[in-house]
Amino acid sequence: MFEKVTVAGFPPIKQITINVSAEQAARSANLDLVIKGPGIPIVIGQDAVIKATGTLMLTGYVRDVDTAYTEAERSLGCSLVSRTVDFVECSAEHKTGEIFDKDIVAIAEELDSLGIGIKSDGTRFPKEPRHKLNLGESPFSSIERRARGRGALIHDTAKGEIMIASKPGGTHVGTLRRGQNILPGASASFTESGRYSDINVRGQTTEGTAKQQLRPQTSVRDGGVKRRRPLILVHEGETTLDRMKTRAGWTGRRAAGNGVTASIPVTGWRDDVGMIWQPNWLVAVEDDWLGIEGLMIIKGIVFEQGDMTKATLSLADPRALGGENPRGKTASGYAAPAVVDAEYIDE
């Protein structure tokens, strides 16, 4: 289970924690390092590549450096962050501030003036007639506004690239089972918070004067909410019926999915065939004490190695990241939203 974790050009690692999430665009890590001799062997902004027994885990930079000493010992710690941090934090550079007739992936590529790199899972997103940047906003902030209406997630890769995805990346081999590979400390939560019986999305088009253009609305029902709890959302960007359906369905599925979450610590960093745990991938879970049996989506992972090697998986119903109803035994009380039906509000 032990991983040989290395960062080229760094002192030996005593302890490391790596945080990866399908809902964050920049992974991070914290390292406790061996320090000997005069001076400090690493500097902020330094390139850093983490590998675990040869598997790439993070490509980025040194974010912070902390060092200290007492009469008995010295210490050296640092944090690392994915190279995508500049896509998240720096302001977008664009000659006109407007992009026409491109989908969210192409918009991200056009805003990638720093050469971070844009990847997608192959989803064909609709083209946006006009995308306008807000002054000073980052490329991530700009495309994240579009992502909400397109049912898309934005996270990073181990290579330090931006990934735009609308479905799970795959399914890990093996099953997490209580008493076998699940460590003590596992927990689960079931909540109604954030869920609504009726989700209505409204918007407006730039052309046309009929009610379908002026005040279109789509709605979706979450059958798992038994009493009336309405929610009205304003669609981001140019409105079409299909886009509003996507927005409503995505919101409903994510809310239903986040109703079932779990935190499960497991031995090692890899699944049954040696693949490193990945965000936005599915994994089978069987834990009768938590009341969970079925596929769950990995929202995030905390990889730790010090006295032991373990990973803590933050899991949810697959609908939390836009996936389908898992139809497992834990999903009976959390029915997936019904088919989205469009309706129009009269003036």
Looking at residue 238, its pLDDT comes to 62
pLDDT range class, residue 3, cuts 50, 70, 90 = very high
How many structural domains comprise the chain?
Answer: 3
Q: Are residues 202 and 75 in the same domain?
A: no
What sign for the dihedral angle of Cα 156, 162, 164, 169? negative
Q: Are residues 138 and 223 in the same domain?
A: no
pLDDT range class, residue 112, cuts 50, 70, 90 = very high
Looking at residue 323, its pLDDT comes to 58
Choose the weakest-confidence range: 119-133, 216-230, 246-260: 246-260
What sign for the dihedral angle of Cα 277, 301, 28, 190? positive
Looking at residue 7, its pLDDT comes to 97
Q: What single letter denotes the amino acid at residue 161? A: E
Q: Which of 131, 150, 165 is the last residue of a domain?
A: 165
Q: What is the mean pLDDT of the chain?
A: 86
Q: Are residues 232 and 332 in the same domain?
A: yes
Does pLDDT of 83 surpass 80?
yes
Looking at residue 198, its pLDDT comes to 81
Q: Are residues 223 and 268 in the same domain?
A: yes
The 3-class SS string of the chain reads CCCCEEECCCCCEEEEEEEEECCCCCCEEEEEECCCCCCCCCCCCCEEEEEECCEEEEEEEEEEEEEEECCCCEEEEEEEEECCHHHHHCCCCCCCCEEEEECHHHHHHHHCCCCCCEEECCCCCCCEEEEECCCCCCHHHHHHHHHHHHCCEEEECCCCCEEEECCCCCEEEEEEEECCCECCCCEEEECCCCCCCEEEEECCCCCCCCHHHHCEEEEEECCCCCCCCEEEEECCCCCCHHHHHHHHHHHHHHHHHCCEEEEEEEECCECCCCCECCCCCEEEEEECCCCEEEEEEEEEEEEEECCCEEEEEEEECHHHHCCCCCCCHHHCCCCCCCCCEEEECCC
pLDDT digit string (tens) for 300-317? 999 999 999 999 999 988
Q: Are residues 152 and 250 in the same domain?
A: no
Q: Are residues 54 and 119 in the same domain?
A: no
pLDDT digit string (tens) for 8-66? 999 999 999 999 999 899 999 999 999 999 999 999 999 999 999 999 999 999 999 99
Express as a percent the part of the chain with pLDDT over 90. 60
Does pLDDT of 234 surpass 80?
no
CATH classification at residue 121: 3.55.50.10
Residue 99's domain spans which residues?
Answer: 87-165
CATH classification at residue 32: 2.30.300.10
Looking at residue 227, its pLDDT comes to 85
pLDDT digit string (tens) for 135-185? 999 999 999 988 877 778 899 999 999 999 988 999 999 999 999 999 999
* Helix 139-150 and helix 241-257, axial crossing angle in degrees, nearest 10: 90
Range of 156-165, 252-261, 324-333 with top mean pLDDT: 156-165
User: Which residue, 323, 5, 315, is CA-closest to 152?
Assistant: 323
Q: Are residues 199 and 300 in the same domain?
A: yes
Q: Which of 142, 165, 188 is the last residue of a domain?
A: 165
Rounded average pLDDT over 209-225: 66
Q: Are residues 114 and 194 in the same domain?
A: no
pLDDT range class, residue 324, cuts 50, 70, 90 = low
Q: Are residues 193 and 295 in the same domain?
A: yes
Looking at residue 206, its pLDDT comes to 56
